[in-house]
Amino acid sequence: MTLPITSAQYVRRALLKIDGATLLAAVDTLDLRGNAKLSAVIAMPLRSLQQRRDVAAFATSAPIAAAKGLLELIAMDPLERVVAALGDHADSPSFEQLSAAVDVELARGSTVDEVVALLAFAIGEEFPAAAHCRRLLDERTEFALPALPALPDVVPGLLTPKQVDPEVRAQRRARREEEKRKRRNSAPVHPAQPVRAKSEKTMAPRSASASAPAPVPEVGRRRVPLTPGELERFRSDHPFVASVVLVEVPYDSVDRTAPDQHAKSRPALVVAAGDGAILVRAIYSNPSRRRVLFQPWRRLGLDHVSYIDDERIVLALADLDNVERLGRLSDDEWNTLW
């Protein structure tokens, strides 16, 4: 059975298709030296790409947040024009409407690379039209994406035990024992010191301030790694962040049992928020490869075991004050998700 292609795989395959010079020109526009606004999860891989120029390695192994951030740099301008071309249908276009808008964008002079970046970025961000974007990439030959390279079953890394020759190991052990012996023999011998009786001062109980244990530093809520585009639209310190809300979450594909239904009311964790929109991770009742157990489901009043998706979704909301809140994660609960 063939497993469905994940949104992260579409993002990586799009980076492999786009001309390497285009990607390098885009990343070279960024000043990543000491950029406090960007998370290290995003900034460090992008800076490594600037220095090493290895597009293939970045596409296949960079954190998905960094991969989407690079796509966004290329997709930003054509995306705005396609949204404008769709007009009132931009929130939930049909496949035919999206396909026509893409053709208009190509006719305006956008390259295939730019359109591929646009479609893959929309899939990675789980836009309402993500299913149509998948179909365009799968069906139109000019947008066809290359397959991801096969990875070895075991990837050498920090967790792979290093094989050491037994003879070399014995030699190292012998050297360590010899060094210990030399240190023992060269240690200075001090004459015995007379034992002095403890004075009343030393016998007196220590003050409360001296005996109190050192305070344990508090661990605050971790910062969310946001892409450059997300940083322009959302705040990670918004009061809504870490809240679990009940919202309409769009489907990422057409439900054959209910083709006219495009979204479902479900709980979601607010990752960042801005004026008229929130960035969320949706919470589901079924597990999958990209979902993890949502530990506080019982505390928040959910009636079944729940799983939180690792993909982020942008939801436009006219009035944030009317959003139903189910509760809020503690810092410890929040930090387990990042």
Sign of CA dihedral 195, 201, 202, 204: positive
The alpha-helical segments, DSSP class H, found in 227-329 are 228-233
pLDDT in tens, 7-29: 999 999 999 999 999 999 999 98
Bridge partners (DSSP) of residue 274 are: 277
Which tokens in the block code for residue 122?
Answer: 């929309």
- Here the contacts of 36-41 (C-beta below 8 Å, separation 24 or greater) are 37/231, 38/226, 38/228, 38/231, 39/65, 39/223, 39/224, 39/225, 39/226, 40/225, 41/65, 41/66, 41/225
Q: Name the helix (H) or strand (E) containing 149.
A: none
User: Which pLDDT value is given to residue 174?
Assistant: 77
pTM value is: 0.48
Q: N- to C-terminal Cα distance for the chain?
A: 32
> Quick check: is 185 in a domain?
no
pLDDT confidence tier of residue 253, bands split at 50, 70 and 90:
low
* Confidence at residue 190, expressed as pLDDT on a 0 to 100 scale: 55
Instruction: Copy the structure tokens of residue 50.
Output: 């600037």
Lowest mean pLDDT among 188-192, 278-282, 328-332: 188-192
The CATH number linked to 286 is 2.30.30.110
Instruction: Answer whether residue 223 is part of any domain.
Output: no
Question: Which of 81, 155, 172, 170 has its CA nearest to residue 118?
Answer: 81
* Pair 137, 250 in one domain: no
Residue 160: both structure tokens together? 């792979």
Last residue of a domain, one of 143, 160, 194: 143
> Among 119, 143, 167, which residue terminates a domain?
143
pLDDT at residue 79 above 50?
yes
Beta carbons within 8 Å of 60's beta carbon, 6+ residues apart: 12, 16, 148, 149, 151
For 45, residues 6+ apart whose C-beta sits below 8 A from its C-beta are: 58, 62, 63, 66
Is 256 a domain residue? yes
**Could you report the per-residue pLDDT of 167-190, keeping only the tens digit for each?**
666 777 777 777 777 777 765 555
pLDDT tens profile 80-98: 999 999 988 888 899 999 9
Residue 135 pLDDT more than 90?
Answer: yes
Mean pLDDT score, 295-313: 88
pLDDT in tens, 191-201: 555 555 544 44
133 and 254 both lie in a single domain: no
User: Is 277 exposed, middle or buried (CB count within 10 Å of its CB: 0-12, 13-18, 19+)?
Assistant: middle
**Domain annotation covers residue 198:** no
Segments forming the whole domain that contains residue 30: 7-143
Integer Cα distance of 42 and 297 in angstroms: 30
Please tell me the total count of domains within the chain: 2
Q: What contacts 233, CB < 8 A, 6 or more positions away? A: 274, 277, 279, 314
pLDDT in tens, 191-230: 555 555 544 444 444 544 445 555 544 557 788 878 888 8
pLDDT for the residue 217: 47
Q: Partners of 283 in the beta sheet?
A: 308
Segment 285-297 shows an average pLDDT of 86
- Report how far residue 106's alpha carbon sits from residue 169's, in angstroms, rounded to the nearest whole number: 63
If you count them, how many residues does the chain have?
338
Please check whether residues 130 and 22 belong to one and the same domain: yes
Which one of 108, 125, 143 terminates a domain?
143
User: Residue type at 221?
Assistant: R
Is 215 inside any structural domain?
no
pLDDT of 331 strictly over 70? yes
Residue 153 lies in a domain: no
pLDDT at 291 over 70: yes
Residue 17 forms part of a structural domain = yes
The answer to whether residues 11 and 121 belong to one domain is: yes
Average pLDDT of the chain is 81
Asked if residue 270 is part of any domain, the answer here is yes
Answer whether residue 48 shows pLDDT above 50. yes
Nearest to 337 by CA among 283, 299, 286: 283
- Helix-, strand-, coil-residue percentages of the chain, each rounded to 5: 45, 15, 45
Q: Up-side HSE of residue 174: CA atoms within 13 Å toward CB?
A: 6
- Over its C-alpha atoms, the chain yields an Rg (Å, rounded) of 28
pLDDT at site 19 = 95
